[in-house]
Amino acid sequence: MSVRTSRKRRGGALTKSPSFRHGTIRSAGGRGAAPSEREAPTPAVTRRKRRRLLLIGSCGAVLALAVGLILTAMSGSIVFFRTPSEIGLQGVAAGSRLRLGGLVQEGSIRRGPDQTVDFAVTDTKASVPVRYKGLLPDLFREGQGVVAEGVLQPGGMFRADTVLAKHDETYMPREVAGALKAQGHWQGGPQAN
């Protein structure tokens, strides 16, 4: 098959396009041939296709592995915020790691040996008993906003490993401030939306 290029005028521009000489014989693998009449691809073409598919498959596998590793790493660091009412209504499973937010219930603080402190966190609808071992923040007191991070134990006791006392919305997580405002127990400054 011989191919020569000729110039054709298309829309005022000169373009090169292949044209076949008269008298040349077209192969059965050319356009318009039935699938059964087409020639088998050459080994070089087959190798290129195989290499391309292998590259695409490898990239897809690496991408899937990276996404899997990222999701696995993130699942261990995600901690959900809950109020005492939400824990009771949603039936949070024992052993779940979460943040518990609300107010320190009046008359609930009990200090034990070895810096162990028991208290209750309430949102005035429900309360959850909390046990914490360590030094409490200076702002921690009854009736004050608090966020405790830890694990919910079987039996409903919340074992906190971090306790944050909050005094106004400036330093309080939006979830805690929003929950207190929604229940009408916000004691901070002006009610912002």
- Quick: pLDDT tens for 80-105: 888 888 887 777 788 888 899 888 99
Flag whether 132 is marked binding: no
Tokens of 139: 């702002």
Give first-to-last CA distance, the chain, whole Å: 78
CA-CA distances (angstroms) from residue 40 to 2, 25, 126? 20, 18, 76
Residue 192 pLDDT grade (very low, low, confident, very high; cuts 50, 70, 90): very low
pLDDT at 38 exceeding the cut of 60: yes
Residue 167 pLDDT grade (very low, low, confident, very high; cuts 50, 70, 90): low
Q: What is the pLDDT of residue 158?
A: 93
Flag whether 167 is marked binding: yes
* CATH of segment(s) 80-182: 2.40.50.140
Supply the mean pLDDT for the chain. Answer: 77
Locate all alpha helices (DSSP H) within 2-146, ordered by sequence: 43-77, 84-90
Query: Who contacts 82 (Cβ-Cβ below 8 Å, separation ≥6)?
Result: 90, 92, 98, 99, 100, 101
Residue 172 pLDDT grade (very low, low, confident, very high; cuts 50, 70, 90): low
pLDDT at 32 exceeding the cut of 70: no
**Chain centroid to CA 4:** 58
The pTM score is 0.53
Tell me which of 18-27, 60-69, 127-136 is least confident: 18-27
Q: Kindly state the average pLDDT of the residues 158-179.
A: 73
d(CA 43, CA 54): 16
Kind plus residue range of the DSSP H or E element containing 182: helix 174-182
Q: Which residue has the higher pLDDT, 189 or 55?
A: 55
Which residue ranges make up each domain of the chain? 40-77, 80-182
Give the SS3 label for residue 174: helix
